[in-house]
């Protein structure tokens, strides 16, 4: 599997990055490349076009319905409907209950289900899309939110699989630990510092992201969803106190193989 960071700015878009969006690609046994977008936050539709044509997405997986994770679904709807070479084929969307209505509200459209048919996540349920097997776990955030555990073909080992876990937005919780267990790559939000005196039940601190990675014994930790106002180096340093393995900060255009 090949992960590309499309947007990684936390909570709001930043001067150098769109909000949360990640492109995950893998080839099936017949050599066909499958493409998933993990979240489609504010600004993601613009940045995504640097890496693929949005019409080529096989699905969009939405962690939760905060605008920094789903706002640009409205623009994907517009692209599929009104591109001069279109209209294009529908792109299936998977998300929490209410995803379809939220897109409809943002798009100001009567109906978006013709181009963006939505399937509601079932916690701990499995979804197969091409070579990807996706399991979502309910996590701890002020609105219904899911972490995604995605198994797909390894880029490094022939006929073997790899696991990438994306936390979405969450504080520490059992669902997050289940989703992260043994992942090759943990793409984890890290929005706060322990010194922020931040309220519980919303986001991970850098230290908590590191501790989740350590408990889960993941291969590599990629820190993301750091807000533009946050102290990036300090968040990374906190994570390194919690996790003894390899840590990197997400940046737009970064590619990670699993
Ligand atoms: Zn967020
Ligand atoms: Zn959120």
Per-residue b or e along 163-192, where b marks 16 or more CB atoms closer than 10 Å to that residue's CB: bbbbbbbbbbbebbebbbeebbbbbbbbbb
Q: What is the pLDDT of residues 175-201, one digit of tens each?
A: 999 999 999 999 999 999 999 888 899
Q: What is the pLDDT of residues 72-110, one digit of tens each?
A: 999 999 999 999 999 999 999 999 999 999 999 999 988
What's the domain count of the chain? 1
The domain of 48 spans 2-257
Ligand nearest to the CA of 170: 2
| Ligand 2 centroid from CA 66, angstroms | 5
Ligand nearest to the CA of 7: 1
Which CATH number does the domain housing residue 142 bear? 3.60.15.10
Q: What is the pLDDT of residues 14-72, one digit of tens each?
A: 999 999 999 999 999 999 999 999 999 999 999 999 999 999 999 999 999 999 999 99
Ligand nearest to the CA of 142: 2
| Ligand 2 centroid from CA 70, angstroms | 10
| Ligand 2 centroid from CA 30, angstroms | 37
| Ligand 2 centroid from CA 205, angstroms | 14
């Amino acid at each position: 599997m090949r992960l590309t960071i499309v947007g990684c700015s936390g909570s709001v878009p930043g001067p150098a990055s769109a909000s949360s969006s990640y492109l995950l690609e893998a080839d099936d046994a017949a050599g066909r490349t499958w493409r998933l977008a993990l979240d489609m936050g504010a600004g993601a539709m613009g940045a995504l076009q640097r890496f693929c044509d949005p019409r080529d997405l096989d699905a969009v997986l939405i962690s939760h319905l905060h605008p920094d994770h789903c706002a640009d679904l409205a623009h994907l709807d517009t692209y599929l409907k009104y591109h001069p070479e279109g209209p294009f084929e529908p792109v299936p969307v998977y998300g929490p209950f209410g995803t379809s209505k939220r897109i409809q509200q943002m798009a100001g459209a009567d109906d978006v289900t013709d181009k963006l048919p939505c399937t509601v996540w079932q916690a701990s349920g499995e979804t197969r899309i091409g070579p990807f097997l996706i399991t979502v776990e309910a996590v701890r955030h002020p609105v219904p939110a899911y972490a995604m555990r995605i198994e797909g073909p390894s880029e490094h080992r022939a006929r073997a699989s790899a696991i990438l876990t994306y936390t979405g937005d969450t504080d520490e919780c059992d669902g997050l630990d289940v989703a992260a267990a043994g992942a090759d790559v943990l793409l984890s939000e890290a929005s706060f510092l322990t010194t922020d005196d931040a309220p519980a039940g919303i986001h991970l601190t850098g230290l908590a992201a590191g501790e989740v990675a350590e408990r889960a014994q993941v291969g590599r930790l990629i820190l993301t969803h750091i807000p533009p106002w946050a102290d990036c180096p300090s968040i990374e340093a906190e994570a390194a106190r919690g996790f003894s393995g390899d840590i990197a900060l997400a940046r737009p255009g970064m590619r990670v193989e699993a």
